[in-house]
Chain A
Amino acid sequence: MEIEVTQEKLSKALNNVSRVAVGKVTLPILNNVLIRVEKNKISLVTTNLDMAVVDFLPVSESKDGTITVPARLLAEFISTLPKGETIKLSSKDDKITISAGKYSSIINGTPADDFPELPEIDEKTAVVFKMGVEEFKNSINQVIIASSNDLTRPALTGVYFNTYDNILAVASTDGYRLAEKKIIKNVQSEINVIVPTATLQEVLRAINEDMEEIEISFNEDLVRFRLGEVEIISKIIDASFPDYQKLIPKDNNIKITIDREELTRVTKLAALFARRSASGSIILETKKPNILSVRSVASELGENDSNLETEVTEEGKINLNSRFLLDALNVLDEKNITAEFANRISPIILKDKKSTDYTHIIMPLNQ
């Protein structure tokens, strides 16, 4: 095997793949990156057996062959080399020789035969969606915050991709809050699949400014994300996601329309005083005709009470976890947002004022 490539390109590709190659003590080869060259097509592959990352590297000169080498070591070595150098990699007897100008080194590798075979998406039966990378990134960031890391409830440790009314929506919940974003309209196919949060975080990290479109393909038990030269294949979570549409309350007579930054500021103020309580509990109270009061529950630190002028339809109050509220305000998009709830025991719904694609609901706390 032999390739010639610029430092920037190789370093970027290795960074994309090397994060996955960690930690499995049982099978040491999983710490390695597989370098495969076939007719001027070069792929770098890593896997942790839950997902695999493949980076296709464009190169000018190459000779066919395969080898695996420790991914972290190679990535760190290449990234430390000066930018602009042309790097030559060549393998011989399970060793890889790296030479770039005056730098040269040899890394011991393992034959590629021992590297696990990766599962493949069956293109014929796959359900495929395409969308803009920027939009995908924003949408996933908006819902992923509500996902759980409680491994005993696997269904909640991922993002649920599901279709209804010809819409593709993504949703997450940890049992205390729920976020949903409608991402593609007018879809024909039907799916409902839970993609692991860890996989999506890897996809988000792989995104860079040059990428325009992302292609998402689902199979019975696999999902594949294709963006630019990077391909991420992952298992999906085999569990059933709660029927979340039922959790979104429909009749909410208390409605508030408010400036997002202003509400963020007063929530932060109240949260300072609520920090001591485990849940960071704060109270939102509406007063007619036009006051929203946000205050902390009395604590030994003192009290805080802020009044905002805003549109209010009914009087009522609700206890919320301040951290959850700040998380939601942080990912909402527009200048003005709406918040609605029915009473102090039903969830509060937060949305952007104009766009209705994103819905975030938070369960209230007991006072």
Chain B
Amino acid sequence: MYNVWNNVLAEIEQKVSAANYTTWFKDTTLLQNEDGNIIIGVKNSFLVKQLRTKFLDLIINALKNNDIEVKNIDFEVQSAGKSKVRSREVLSTPTPIKNHLKSHQTTTSHQTLKPEYTMENFIVGSNNDLAVAAAKSIIDAPGTRFNPFFLYGGPGLGKTHLVQAIGNALLSKNPDYKILYTPISDFYSDFIDSVRKGKGNEFHNKFQKLDCLIIDDFQFIVNKEKSQEEFFNIFNSLYQLGKQIIVTSDRLPNQIKTVDERLSTRLAMAGAFDLQLPKFEDRCAILRAKAELLDAEIEDEAIEYIAENISTNIRDLEGELSTILLMSDVRHMTPLELIRNGSATINRSSKHHTVSSKQVVEKVAHYYNLTPKEMCGKSRVANIKNARQITMYLLSKELSMSTTKIAAEVGVKDHTTVMHGIGKIEKDLKINFILRDQIEEIKEKIYG
């Protein structure tokens, strides 16, 4: 019945202007169809009057064209809360086979869920326990408390793994569940395609039928205005139907520039969950679990060595582990022996000694269009101060210089100023993703 109404709407959409369609018809639902007594659900009483006086004939004709007998049409005003319950009931009625097939075909054109991503092999640590708890509650009851589920974190921390695992778990619970996983880049290229072919409605309808929509790497939607609009529409209609929406990004919603601010506030409506950098213990646990999964043997000491030397992200961690395991296979040595005899030095640590503090100061100053002389000193101008603090941070993290030495290098009073500066950048990094990007770029310049 639900799908029939979509067909009716599709027909109406062709007969009225786009403005009229979005205003009057878009959020309507078919609540009841018993022996020709039809009840249509609408958002508020202002719509009822208009639909009744201006569009009634149109609705009746569209219903008839879809083989629905009409004796009497009634309208019922309903809030989002009510419609949630109602539309579930409606959904449970069997859908015509034709529509079923169609939606499956369209799903497969996308990158789909990979079965190797499961909840079981996602390693829980203090860096991600909240997000995992939320994920589990979504699997138990999709579309309720954590809807939309917004997951953010830096690259290689397991965002894709976690959301795909949710998808897989939902699917194993209920094989009929219609789930679409799509990176946002596929979303907008498909959208552009559908617009070019004049099949915008089809595109929209495809999403309407989903039970769960998973969007990966949402940050790339910046500057794609039409796609944002379309996504916002799809988001709203799915949300109103109580369908689970999952979005991942490398930053918080309010740091993604969207045309419509409502979009970013809505995404964070049920809270934003982050995946943080794993701490040393978490890194060890991840390596151990990964080794177990690969059925490989590795000494604890080797694990600790890797965990200590790689703190960037999980992807690097796993990459290093596989390299070492592969080498140990080829050379018939244990991982620890490889590390001990120096054939498995982790590439990152070797870089550090090749740069001097002068170079760091110069690169940071250059990045912010300052001369090293301008930057080092006591200027309180905000951007200069900020650049200086970033220098302190990098000197401390990358060159492991003492705070006293750093103070002398950047020309501030004493080591407490340096400690404050480093502390501030560390704090900012947790929430300010632009800063994080900048620091990554500076690092590239320093080592590049």
A residues near B, CB below 8 A?
24, 26-28, 47, 49-50, 52, 116-120, 152, 154, 221-222, 235, 237-239
Contacts and interface: CB of A to CB of B under 8 A. Distances in A.
Given A27-B20, A238-B82, 20 more contacts: A24-B23, A27-B22, A27-B23, A28-B19, A49-B23, A49-B46, A50-B46, A116-B46, A117-B50, A117-B54, A118-B46, A119-B45, A152-B269, A221-B44, A221-B45, A222-B45, A235-B45, A237-B79, A238-B79, A239-B79
A304 B20 CA distance: 60
Q: Which of B22, B46, B49 has most A Cβ within 10 Å?
A: B46
B12 to A, nearest CB: 16
B22 A26 contact: yes
B46 A120 contact: no
Contacts of A152: 269
A119 B46 CA distance: 6
- Which 4 A-B residue pairings sit nearest by Cβ, starting from the closest? A238-B79, A235-B44, A119-B49, A27-B23
A50 B44 contact: yes
B291 interface: no
Interface residues of B, number: 21
19 contacts: A24-B23, A26-B22, A27-B19, A27-B23, A47-B46, A50-B44, A50-B46, A116-B49, A117-B50, A117-B53, A119-B48, A120-B49, A235-B44, A235-B46, A235-B77, A237-B79, A238-B78, A238-B79, A239-B79
A26 B53 CA distance: 20
B66 to A, nearest CB: 26
Contacts of B171: none
A26 B26 CA distance: 12
B7 to A, nearest CB: 23
A235 B77 CA distance: 10
Contacts of A27: 19-20, 22-23
A313 B324 CA distance: 76
Contacts of A52: 46
B139 interface: no
Nearest to A222: B45
B41 to A, nearest CB: 12
Nearest to B44: A235
Interface in B1-52: 19-20, 22-23, 44-50, 52
A239 B50 contact: no
Contacts of A26: 19, 22-23
B24 to A, nearest CB: 8
Given A27-B19, A152-B269, A117 B49 contact: yes
Contacts of A117: 49-50, 52-54
Nearest to A25: B19
Nearest to B18: A26
A238 B46 contact: no
B50 A116 contact: yes
Interface in B262-280: 269
Contacts of B81: 238-239
Contacts of B19: 26-28
B145 to A, nearest CB: 12
B77 A238 contact: yes
Q: Name the residue in B19, B20, B22 with the highest tally of chain A Cβ atoms < 10 Å from its Cβ.
A: B19
A25 to B, nearest CB: 9
Contacts of A116: 46, 49-50
B241 to A, nearest CB: 17
Contacts of A239: 79, 81
A335 B241 CA distance: 52
A47 B77 CA distance: 18
A116 B23 CA distance: 10
Nearest to A154: B79
A118 B53 CA distance: 10
A244 to B, nearest CB: 19
Contacts of B53: 117
A52 B49 CA distance: 13
